[in-house]
Amino acid sequence: MPRLMLLRHAKSSWAEMTTSDFERPLASRGQRNAPLMGRYMETNALLPDRVLCSSALRARLTFSGLLPFFDIDFDTLFLRDIYDTLDDDYMPLIRHHGGNAQSLMLIDHNPAAIHETALALVQNGTPEDIKRLEEGFPTATLAVIDFDCEDWDSLEPQSGRLVALIKPRDLEVMVVS
């Protein structure tokens, strides 16, 4: 059963207005949240076989924050197409680059594409998680979606089950508790 993990890049910085959008770094909050999410993924055995990561700096830095917690072998593709996509979803990229990965992670962007992709793919899940997904997809949020399809080529809209939706504030509460 293929598993897709959609991770929006961590909070980026707008401090340097002369920096291009593509080269925006992470803000201090993003620098904290990426490793926090990496630790959560490691603890909950949410580790990818393949990572598709936007080549934008903030996505690459988010990926770097996860790496210390991924003590496994996996393939990584850094794709400018993830940053450049004008569509409201990443399904064509997932179909094309998913390969034979059973656990595929996509580190990507919003305001539309990652949220719209998750909404387009999810058919069911817990009512609480579905409601939280409908409310938005903040930076450093992770959606875990399982599918009954054979491979990524046969990925269809409304075919996934939302297994988990983890937002950084959920993890911050866990750390404080």
Domain parsing of the chain, residue ranges: 3-176
What is residue 86's predicted lDDT score, i.e. its pLDDT? 65
| Res. 55: pLDDT tops 70 | yes
Q: 3.30.590.20, 1.10.10.10, 3.40.50.1240, 1.20.1050.10: which CATH number matches 3-176?
A: 3.40.50.1240
Global pTM value: 0.93
| Res. 134: pLDDT tops 50 | yes
Lowest-confidence segment of 56-60, 82-86, 134-138, 141-145 by average pLDDT: 82-86
Q: Which one-letter amino acid corresponds to residue 3?
A: R
| Res. 148: pLDDT tops 90 | yes
Half-sphere exposure of 57 (CA within 13 A, CB side): 13
What is residue 153's predicted lDDT score, i.e. its pLDDT? 94
- How do residues 98-114 score in pLDDT, each as one tens digit? 999 999 999 998 866 89
H/E element, 166: strand 160-166
Q: Mean per-residue pLDDT for 64-74?
A: 95
CA distances from 70 to 10, 51, 141 (A): 17, 11, 18
Torsion-angle region of residue 125: left (phi > 0), alpha (psi -120 to 50) or beta? Answer: left
